Amino acid sequence: MKKIAKAALGLMLMAGTAFAQKQTLDKVAAVVGNSPILQSDIELQYARYQAEGGTPNPDIKCQIMQTLISQKLLGQQAVIDSVQVKDEEVDNEVDRRMRGMIQRAGGQERLEGFLGRSVIQYKDEIRDDLHEQLVAQRMREKIIEKLNVTPQEVKEFFEKIPKDSLPTINKEVEVGEIVFQPKLTKEEKAVYKQKAEDLRARVKKGEDFASLARLYSQDGSAAEGGDLGFADRNTYVKEFAAYAFKLKAGEISPVFETDFGFHFLQVIERRGEQVHVRHILIVPVPTEASLSRANHMADSIYTVMKKNKAIDFSSAAAYYSDNKETKYNGGMMLNLEDVQSRSTLIPTDKLDPQVALVIDTMKVGEFSKPQLLTEKDGKKDYKILYLKSVTDAHKASIEKDFPKLKEQAYNAKMSRMISEWFERKRKETYIRIDEQNAACPQLKGWASTTTAQAN
């Protein structure tokens, strides 16, 4: 803990020093169109890089300069194309950054001490920078919004890879699960609900909400006094959203239950379709009796599935599984490193070791007896596992690995498109770089050869 606190202190002190520099340094490091880039902007980002554990390296400043010039080019095109970022989006990003910093610092008061300014002041200072970053990101998305790759392009991409350079694809498996979570009875839950009720009563009597949240709340927002920042209705489960968007600023909800446990919340501020709330969460702990009931249920379903071959695994998962993320996917686990494509092919070295141990002795098409497994959050549940397929390690081929190759072809095409866009914009836009930064290899050819201003 001391090491973490020391690292957090260093991060905040360096960030504070960098912002102090920004107040005093006014040297123009570059000009893009009519937009200046200050040397203090570069020093600020370099200080953040070091504060987050980066090794001191002057070359990083060159990368930062290239990023800032790119942001200016994207931002100027965004104005032409009417690409905008709403104030609420910027507010959300500012709040997200601040929540992370407050958590690392060990509280808002400590953070303000490190920065030498209030959180409100700091938010104002970083808001314009974050707005520019979000606009650039949105413009980059617009540039590639119609990008796609055809099967023929994937084939051509694959054929250009030298045969002796074909990547080796690790052994992969497809694994399904039917999850049986231990469920508490109303009587077993009562003690946890009462704990939440007691804390709510203390808040109503005048005790500080944030202090009680730091001491007793059982989720990631506890370190921030239960503060969840601004969010829209879709961010929360329906029970939570119902109170968050019904109450007025300052009002406190009754204790209510969600899949996460027992909560009560307080609305801090409402802005249109977004609300700023804080809450306290009490999480019920499964009992031995609830685990026993889950085991009995899992055994019963396993017996039925073994006897009745007409019951397919995906139907059983959809009907019985308590995992909402996999039950509507035929029970199939997703590759967490490739969630965007919703791939069910999981490299065995990325598989949960507990699951890997169970399926190691299974044949394709088999499902296991119920197994008591521990999730990443420490919760235990019973699972029936199903081995759908096994693909042994092999050299990449168009037949077996088309989805992976399609993704690689897409990324390569996207990189070319972005590079070509910047190449055009660099030629069309007046760019001046001072002598200190012009030596950067990354910026070779970026500066304009003429002093004429861009249109």
**Mind listing the pLDDT tens digit for each residue in 50-100?**
766 678 888 899 999 999 999 999 999 999 999 999 988 898 888 888 877
Span 112-126, pLDDT tens digits: 777 777 878 888 888
Span 176-199, pLDDT tens digits: 999 999 999 999 999 999 999 999
The yes-or-no verdict on residue 19 having pLDDT over 90 is no
Burial bucket for residue 101 (CB in 10 Å: 0-12, 13-18, 19+)? buried
| Ramachandran angles phi, psi of 277, nearest 5° | -130, 165
Give the chain's end-to-end CA distance (angstroms, integer). 55
Q: State the pLDDT at residue 51.
A: 61
CB 105 within 8 Å of CB 44: no
Of 6-20, 21-35, 117-131, 193-207, least confident by mean pLDDT is: 6-20
The yes-or-no verdict on residue 3 having pLDDT over 60 is no
The yes-or-no verdict on residue 4 having pLDDT over 70 is no
Of 43-47, 136-140, 340-344, 418-422, least confident by mean pLDDT is: 340-344
Categorize the per-residue pLDDT at 335 as very low, low, confident or very high, splitting at 50, 70 and 90: confident
Distance CA(153)–CA(410), nearest Å, equals 9
pTM of the model: 0.68
Of 39-48, 254-263, 430-439, least confident by mean pLDDT is: 39-48
Q: State the pLDDT at residue 449.
A: 59
Q: Which two tokens stand for residue 394?
A: 């092999």
The yes-or-no verdict on residue 256 having pLDDT over 70 is yes
CA distances from 69 to 72, 302, 424, 426, 434 (A): 5, 60, 14, 10, 13
| Ramachandran angles phi, psi of 369, nearest 5° | -70, 155
Q: State the pLDDT at residue 5.
A: 43
The yes-or-no verdict on residue 102 having pLDDT over 50 is yes
Q: State the pLDDT at residue 297.
A: 97
The yes-or-no verdict on residue 14 having pLDDT over 80 is no
Distance CA(359)–CA(105), nearest Å, equals 43
CB 140 within 8 Å of CB 134: no
The yes-or-no verdict on residue 288 having pLDDT over 60 is yes
| 454 or 269: which leads in pLDDT | 269
Q: State the pLDDT at residue 341.
A: 67
| CB-CB neighbours of 213 under 10 Å | 25
Distance CA(182)–CA(285), nearest Å, equals 10
Q: Which two tokens stand for residue 267?
A: 């609305």
Span 159-177, pLDDT tens digits: 999 999 998 989 999 999 9
Categorize the per-residue pLDDT at 20 as very low, low, confident or very high, splitting at 50, 70 and 90: very low
Q: Which two tokens stand for residue 162?
A: 């030298």
Amino acid occupying residue 412: A
Q: State the pLDDT at residue 273.
A: 81
Q: How confident is the model over 429-443, as a mean pLDDT?
A: 89
| 229 or 381: which leads in pLDDT | 381
Q: How confident is the model over 446-453, as a mean pLDDT?
A: 61
In percent, how much of the chain has pLDDT > 90?
62
Q: State the pLDDT at residue 26.
A: 62
Distance CA(264)–CA(93), nearest Å, equals 25
Residue by residue, DSSP assigns 172-197 as EEEEEEEEE-----HHHHHHHHHHHH
